[in-house]
Amino acid sequence: MIAIITGDIINSQKSDSELWLPKLKELLESWSAAPENWEIYRGDEFQLKCSVDEVFRKALLLKSLIRTFENLDVRLAIGIGNEVFRSEKITESNGSAYVNSGRLLTEIKSQGKTLSIQTENDKVNRDLNILFKWASLDFDSWTAATAEIIHQLLRNSELTQEELARELNITQSSVSQRVKRANFELLQETDQFFRKKISEL
């Protein structure tokens, strides 16, 4: 069983891709090799293959990265399933994980959602998509400053608030306020719940 994230950048035509595209590539490259495991295509769409237990955390990292750019957001469709054909290019590979993810992206575009999941288990889908609806109320309202804090903490959970303050050139109290506003502890609990729920598949 594998996880596929199919995503597209919202409002990409209103932003200079030279700002966000290198950062997106850098993040994807830090996880695995292209084009077998990830690919950016049509300018503002991408696909990523990863392990099932890591997919929610990777979705959060993608979301928080793109939200650091003013007026940008990202839609993420997570497909869980099998891989029946593995090509040298992820966009040419196939299986239920790919089908679930691709179809779901089309569906959430029309519904105005930014995060959803499709597995072979209807109960897991229902439970996790309710969770994602609630979580998206938070994700979709992140400011660039909040997204930056979340992204840094997700990339390196060992960072202290003092180190973050130095890195972002702000005060430690500002970091503390942003971490609270970001509900970072709740994000971590949500990730743990996701891993437990997905293990039921």
Q: Share the mean pLDDT of the chain.
A: 94
d(CA 63, CA 3): 17
User: Residue 14: which pLDDT band, with cuts at 50, 70 and 90?
Assistant: confident
Q: What is the DSSP string of the chain?
A: -EEEEEEEEETGGGS-HHHHHHHHHHHHHTTS-TTTSEEEETTTEEEEEE-GGGHHHHHHHHHHHHHTSTT-EEEEEEEEE--SB--SSGGG-BSHHHHHHHHHHHHHHHHT-SEEEE-S-HHHHHHHHHHHHHHHHHHTT--HHHHHHHHHHHH-TT--HHHHHHHHTS-HHHHHHHHHHTTHHHHHHHHHHHHHHHTT-
| Torsion angle of C-alpha atoms 97, 65, 142, 187, degrees rounded to 10 | 60
Percent of the chain with pLDDT over 90: 81
User: Residue 151: which pLDDT band, with cuts at 50, 70 and 90?
Assistant: very high
Q: Over 90: is that where the pLDDT of 178 sits?
A: no
pTM comes to: 0.95
Q: Over 90: is that where the pLDDT of 182 sits?
A: no
How high is the pLDDT of residue 90? 97
Half-sphere exposure of 174 (CA within 13 A, CB side): 13
Half-sphere exposure of 63 (CA within 13 A, CB side): 27
Average pLDDT over residues 176-194: 90
Q: Over 90: is that where the pLDDT of 158 sits?
A: no
Report domain extents, the chain. 2-199
Average pLDDT over residues 151-177: 90
Q: Over 90: is that where the pLDDT of 144 sits?
A: yes
CATH code that applies to domain 2-199: 3.30.70
Q: Could you report the per-residue pLDDT of 34-92, keeping only the tens digit for each?
A: 999 999 999 899 999 999 999 999 999 999 999 999 999 999 999 999 999 999 999 99
Q: Could you report the per-residue pLDDT of 90-135, keeping only the tens digit for each?
A: 999 999 999 999 999 999 999 999 999 999 999 999 999 999 999 9
